């Protein structure tokens, strides 16, 4: 019984221990699970933190990327706005010495042939003398070894001498080859330097192809923003010292259409805010204007030799017409200016568009839409065939030579040309120098009208008097335009006189081009033996009066002036008023008319018999700032000629319709001198209106 109880107690104890162990295992498993859960939670928290950090860093990178895009955009806009100003810091004069290449003189490197091989040493072949017992018992053996070593040494010396001889021969050949390469390189450099020096001489002599090549080098050294074309054509007309540039302008695509970029975090995208279309178009117009002014500035700045007196710039755009899909090349800007006029500009301060308007440039009314303007001078009209032909093959040329024609033939050619160009021509009389005078009519409405055409067969440059004569003919004929055509060219004075006047000057190159383009005539210009031009203009030859239009003014260089009036009716009277700074008379004595024919100081006087007013500017008091020249009487046409003591004359014309008093012109002080301005305005209420405005008391 006791044994059974002990057994049961042992079983119970074992059960308790097993249960205790199972509970411990369960507790351990629960602890392990809790630890695993804690580790899992920690891992997930760390993973979420890493993901959050990655997202933060990604957003920062995207924000930085957009900031960089906005910075590049701002830099681009600033770059486009500063095309002109940034270029003013550059000196575009090209030093032709930079073209000279240096000879390729590499140092002589003989390589292995330049390193002599050391001669054999006897000790390397002959054993050292024996010592001790070897000397007593090995003498015979040593002598044999010494004889063999000596033979080997002599053989090695012979082979070394042969190798040294071969090395020295190779070294000599290498030295000769290097000397030959050096001479050839120096000779190439010498010839290239001679070519550059010849080019410099041709440029100094004003050779047209050298002038064009020089300015091409200048334009190649100038850089513009990315996306701008680098393409142009140049031509030089030596007769008028005129450089013609056809320059490719960028398209409107170079102007950014984006105002700003913004990163949207929620959609992970970059959005754009567009600029106003008007703003883009305005900046494109500014870009075009800046490029034109900068190209002209760069070329004139580079003209150290003074070959260029005037520049014609045609700004072209090479693009595709969106309406037709075909390539087009409209001219968006055309300009002709002189070096003198351009030098007066402060380009660092100008508004490009206003500056071009001041220079009389033709600018597209809508550059963004590629609305073209007519070039001042078509580049293709600067024909390279117009050269002085001197070779013996010239006589074999089957093209008609314009200077070989009779006046009648030349007259017919010119008439045919302008008829083919759409004008209705009417011949008048030939001029004394073998040219042709022709009156034509342009049938186009609004733009058309009467056209006076004069042609002069000259070999030398046409003088400015021919242009003045044409202008006088234009005025007398009441024509809307005058065209002067010559087989030679024009000087700067001719272009200056024609500026802002309805006159077109066509030189020999233009004439050749027009004949080919419109009449199908391939012609040439070569003066035959014995050809003589009409006598050139002289400085003493009086020029016909230049007509001043209303508002135009001219500087007066003489103190004594004679003013001749031609009026509509014999009973009309000239008169004059002396005005102070406030444009009022100082007293009634400043009114010069038929009852008071002279001012108190005698500076202004009236001759009623000849209808002349004489003015002595030197005698006018310092408080007289203006002298008015006036007519009174029946309305009608008035012609006034002002002649200076040096012979210079100025013509003025005014037409009164209802005005019975007409202010024809005025002399006025300007910067220490005097100028003459055409006025052409009047008063319908007669002298009362004149007196009211200028403080004259009429009893």
pLDDT digits over 470-523, tens only?
887 777 667 788 888 888 878 777 777 887 788 888 887 778 878 888 888 788
Give the class (CATH, top level) of 407-519.
Answer: alpha beta
Q: What is the pLDDT of residue 192?
A: 87
Alpha helices, H only, 129-276: 132-137, 139-204, 208-220
C-alpha 162/C-alpha 259 separation (Å) is: 83
C-alpha 182/C-alpha 643 separation (Å) is: 74
What tens digit of pLDDT does each residue of 535-589 get? 544 433 445 566 788 888 898 988 889 998 888 777 889 999 999 999 999 998 9
Phi/psi at 654 (5° precision): -145, 150
Quick one: three-class SS letters along 183-223? Answer: HHHHHHHHHHHHHHHHHHHHHHCCCHHHHHHHHHHHHHCCC
Q: Which of 310, 298, 289 is nearest to 214 (CA)?
A: 298
DSSP structural state of residue 293: H
Residue predicted with more confidence, 505 or 533: 505
Q: What is the pLDDT of residue 479?
A: 76
Tokens 């200076």, located at residue: 644
pLDDT band at 530 (very low <50, low <70, confident <90, very high): low
Segment holding 615, helix H or strand E: strand 612-616
- The mean pLDDT value of the chain amounts to 83
Task: Give me the mean pLDDT over the 49-60 stretch.
Answer: 82
pTM, entire model: 0.56
**What CATH fold (topology level) applies to the domain 547-694?**
Lipoxygenase-1 (2.60.60)
Asked if residues 420 and 519 have their Cβ atoms less than 8 Å apart, the reply is: yes
Task: Give me the mean pLDDT over the 661-679 stretch.
Answer: 91
Beta carbons within 8 Å of 276's beta carbon, 6+ residues apart: none
What is the dihedral sign for C-alpha 183, 188, 189, 190? positive
**pLDDT at 13 exceeding the cut of 70:** yes
Q: What is the pLDDT of residue 443?
A: 73
Residue predicted with more confidence, 134 or 327: 327
Task: Give me the mean pLDDT over the 368-383 stretch.
Answer: 75
What tens digit of pLDDT does each residue of 239-249 get? 778 899 999 99
Task: Report the SS3 class of residue 323.
Answer: coil
Q: Which of 579, 622, 618 is nearest to 602 (CA)?
A: 618
**pLDDT at 102 exceeding the cut of 60:** yes
Tokens 């000259």, located at residue: 458
For 227: left if phi > 0, alpha if psi spans -120 to 50, otherwise beta; the answer is: left
For 527: left if phi > 0, alpha if psi spans -120 to 50, otherwise beta; the answer is: beta
DSSP structural state of residue 462: B
- What value, to the nearest 5°, has the Cα angle with vertex 75 and ends 71 and 76? 115
Strand 637-644 vs strand 560-566: parallel, antiparallel, or unpaired? antiparallel
Task: Give me the mean pLDDT over the 100-113 stretch.
Answer: 86
Domain residue ranges in the chain: 111-202, 222-381, 407-519, 547-694
C-alpha 486/C-alpha 509 separation (Å) is: 9
Asked if residues 319 and 370 have their Cβ atoms less than 8 Å apart, the reply is: yes
């Amino acid at each position: 019984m006791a044994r059974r109880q002990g057994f049961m107690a042992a079983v119970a104890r074992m059960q308790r221990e097993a249960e205790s162990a199972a509970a411990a295992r369960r507790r351990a498993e629960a602890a392990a699970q809790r630890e695993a859960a804690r580790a899992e939670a920690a891992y997930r928290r760390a993973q979420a933190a890493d993901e959050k950090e990655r997202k933060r860093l990604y957003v920062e990178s995207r924000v930085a990327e957009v900031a960089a895009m906005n910075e590049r955009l701002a830099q681009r806009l600033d770059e486009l706005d500063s095309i002109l100003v940034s270029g003013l810091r550059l000196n575009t004069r090209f030093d032709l010495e930079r073209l000279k290449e240096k000879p390729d003189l590499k140092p002589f490197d003989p390589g292995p042939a330049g390193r002599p091989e050391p001669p054999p040493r006897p000790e390397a072949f002959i054993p050292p003398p024996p010592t001790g017992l070897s000397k007593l018992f090995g003498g015979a053996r040593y002598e044999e070894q010494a004889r063999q070593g000596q033979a080997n040494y002599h053989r090695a010396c012979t082979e070394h001498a042969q190798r040294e001889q071969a090395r020295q021969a190779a070294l000599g050949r290498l030295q000769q080859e290097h000397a030959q390469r050096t001479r050839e390189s120096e000779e190439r450099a010498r010839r290239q330097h001679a070519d550059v020096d010849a080019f410099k001489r041709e440029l100094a002599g004003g050779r047209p192809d050298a002038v064009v090549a020089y300015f091409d080098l200048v334009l190649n050294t100038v850089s513009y923003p990315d996306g701008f074309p680098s393409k142009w054509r140049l031509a030089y007309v030596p007769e008028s010292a005129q450089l013609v540039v056809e320059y490719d302008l960028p398209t409107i695509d170079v102007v950014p259409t984006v105002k700003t970029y913004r990163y949207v975090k929620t959609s992970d995208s970059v959005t754009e805010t567009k600029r106003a279309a008007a703003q883009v178009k305005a900046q494109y117009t500014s870009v075009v204007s800046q490029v034109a002014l900068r190209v002209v500035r760069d070329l004139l700045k580079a003209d150290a030799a003074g070959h260029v007196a005037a520049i014609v710039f045609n700004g072209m755009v090479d693009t595709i017409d969106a309406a037709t899909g075909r390539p087009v090349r409209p001219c968006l800007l055309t300009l002709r200016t002189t070096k003198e006029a351009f030098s007066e500009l402060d380009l660092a301060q100008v508004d490009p568009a206003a500056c071009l308007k001041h220079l009389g440039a033709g600018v597209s009314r809508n550059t963004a839409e590629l609305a073209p303007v007519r070039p001042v001078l078509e580049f293709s009209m600067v024909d390279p065939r117009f050269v002085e032909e001197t070779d013996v093959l010239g006589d074999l040329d089957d093209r008609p030579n314009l200077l070989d024609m009779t006046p009648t033939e030349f007259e017919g050619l010119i008439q045919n040309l302008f008829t083919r160009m759409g004008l209705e021509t009417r011949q008048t009389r030939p001029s004394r120098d073998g040219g042709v005078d022709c009156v034509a009519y342009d049938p186009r409405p609004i733009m058309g009208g009467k056209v006076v055409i004069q042609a002069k067969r000259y070999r030398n440059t046409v003088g400015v008097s021919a242009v003045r004569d044409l202008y006088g003919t234009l005025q007398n004929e009441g024509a809307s335009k005058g065209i002067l055509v010559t087989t030679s060219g024009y000087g700067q004075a001719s272009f200056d006189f024609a500026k802002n006047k309805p006159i077109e000057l066509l030189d020999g190159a233009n004439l050749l081009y027009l004949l080919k383009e419109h009449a199908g005539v391939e012609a040439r210009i070569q003066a035959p033996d014995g050809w003589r031009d009409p006598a050139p203009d002289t400085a003493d030859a009086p020029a016909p009066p230049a007509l001043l239009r209303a508002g135009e003014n001219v500087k007066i260089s003489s103190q004594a002036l004679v003013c001749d009036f031609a009026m509509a009716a014999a009973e009309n009277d000239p008169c004059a008023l002396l005005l102070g700074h406030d444009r009022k008379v100082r007293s009634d004595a400043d009114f010069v008319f038929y009852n008071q024919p002279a001012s108190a100081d005698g500076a202004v006087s009236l001759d009623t018999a000849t209808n002349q007013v004489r003015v002595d500017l030197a005698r006018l008091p310092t408080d007289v700032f203006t002298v008015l020249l006036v007519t009174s009487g029946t309305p009608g046409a008035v012609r006034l000629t002002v002649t200076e003591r040096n012979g210079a004359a100025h013509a003025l014309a005014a037409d009164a319709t209802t005005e019975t008093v007409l202010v024809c012109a005025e002399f006025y002080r300007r910067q220490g001198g005097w100028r003459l301005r055409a006025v052409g305005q009047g008063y319908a209420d007669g002298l009362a209106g004149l007196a009211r405005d200028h403080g004259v008391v009429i009893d």
